[in-house]
Every structure is written in structure tokens, then in C-alpha cells.
Amino acid sequence: MTNPTEAARFPNASADVTSPSHRPTVDCMFCQRATDFGPLSDRCVYEDSSFHASHQIYEDGPSYLGIILIQTKRHVPNLAALSDSESERLGWLIGRLSRALGMCTPAEWTYCFGFTEGVRHVHMLIAARYPGMPKEYVRLAIADWPGAPHGDPIQVAELVSRLRSAVGRPGPP
Ligand SMILES: [Zn+2]
């Protein structure tokens, strides 16, 4: 991002981590999680210096198998504020997680969505889109489909273990 025209159009692209909007905040649930990912260790599918990805679970019943939440480790309030290297890593990670879900579940393809609306900290979801899903559950109602594969915490941990090794496998050229 050295092109001055680009820098003018995307002023946040240089990711000035000293900017107040990029500082961790106690009010941000994703910053709070980033202080200690230990409680998520059974659900961690991928982690590096910039990102953490964990399988989602439901506290009040069986969990939809194949929904992974990616979050930045630092407080990044919107996608435009990602650095170029973070953007590249995020694209790579979306592809790797999607491929891993394809290897480890019967998913036909994956959804990828994120709004940075409820919490202004970059996070997005990658979800296994299973075959035979009724129309009323497509898109944002995907996790409500009772016919989708669900599992208890042990089954989630077992899937996470397989996803973790699948993420590391190189894909097609
Ligand atoms: Zn945050």
C-alpha cells in the first residue's frame, strides 16, 4: 500500500495500530476473548499471530456441526482497517477453512458472512452448507435447520481435531 492514490482512497489500510479505534477495549467481547483463548482451546481450529478461528457451540443444546468463527486478535473495527498482510491472511484462511469443512463434513459448499454490526471488531463466520437444506433455512437461518448434522461438545471436539489437521494440508494448485 505505497501507492499514494490508494492510500488516499483507503486511509485505514496502513492499519495504524496507535489509533484509538484500534486499541483493545474492555467493552469489546472479541478483545476480551483475545486476552486468553485458553477456554476455547477445545474448539480452536486455527491460530496465528493475527487470527483465531474457533468452532461455535450452543450452550443450550446440540451444536450445528461446521460453523467456525474467525476473529482478528487485535481490535480492528472494520474490514477496511485490516492491514494488507492481514487481508491476505484472512483470504487464505477463508479458503483453507472452507476446504477443511469440505474434507471433514458432507458440506456441499461453505457460507462466509460477517457484518461487524453487533460488535465492531472484525469477525466472520464460515459455515458448512449441507445438501438438502430446505429453502426456509438457507442463508442466515442455516444454523436453525434441525435436519443439519448436530453434535454434543465431544463430537464438536472430535470434528475440531480433524478440521485442525485438514487446515494444514495444502490444497489444489
Ligand atoms: Zn475488539
pLDDT, tens digit only, all 173 positions of the chain: 344 444 444 434 444 444 555 666 678 999 999 999 999 999 999 999 999 999 999 988 899 999 999 999 999 999 999 999 999 999 999 999 999 999 999 999 999 999 999 999 999 999 999 999 999 999 999 999 999 999 999 999 999 999 999 998 877 76
Distance in Å, CA 65 to ligand 1 centroid: 26
CB under 8 A, 24+ apart: contacts of 46-55: 46/93, 46/96, 46/97, 46/164, 46/167, 48/89, 49/73, 50/74, 50/85, 50/86, 50/89, 51/86, 51/89, 51/90, 51/93, 53/93, 53/97, 53/126, 55/156, 55/159, 55/160, 55/163
Give a yes or no: residue 171 inside a domain. no
Q: What is the pLDDT, as a whole number, of residue 19?
A: 52
What domain count does the chain have?
1
Distance in Å, CA 121 to ligand 1 centroid: 5
Q: What is the pLDDT, as a whole number, of residue 10?
A: 40
Q: How many CB atoms lie within 10 A of CB 168?
A: 9
Distance in Å, CA 42 to ligand 1 centroid: 22
pTM (predicted TM-score): 0.85
Distance in Å, CA 137 to ligand 1 centroid: 30
Range of the domain at 129: 4-161
Furthest C-alpha separation in the chain: 52
Q: What span, in angstroms and rounded, lies between the C-alpha atoms of 112 and 125? A: 6
Q: What is the pLDDT, as a whole number, of residue 4?
A: 43
Distance in Å, CA 68 to ligand 1 centroid: 18
Q: Which amino acid is it at 155? A: Q
Give a yes or no: residue 170 inside a domain. no
Distance in Å, CA 122 to ligand 1 centroid: 8
Give a yes or no: residue 63 inside a domain. yes
Give a yes or no: residue 26 inside a domain. yes
Cα distance from N-terminal residue to C-terminal residue, the chain: 27
Q: What is the pLDDT, as a whole number, of residue 7?
A: 41
Give a yes or no: residue 172 inside a domain. no
Give a yes or no: residue 59 inside a domain. yes
Give a yes or no: residue 173 inside a domain. no
Task: Name residues whose C-beta falls within 8 Å of residue 172's C-beta, 6 or more positions apart in sequence.
Answer: none
Q: What is the pLDDT, as a whole number, of residue 171?
A: 72
Q: What span, in angstroms and rounded, lies between the C-alpha atoms of 78 and 112? A: 16
CATH number for the domain spanning 145: value is 3.30.428.10
Distance in Å, CA 16 to ligand 1 centroid: 15
Give a yes or no: residue 75 inside a domain. yes
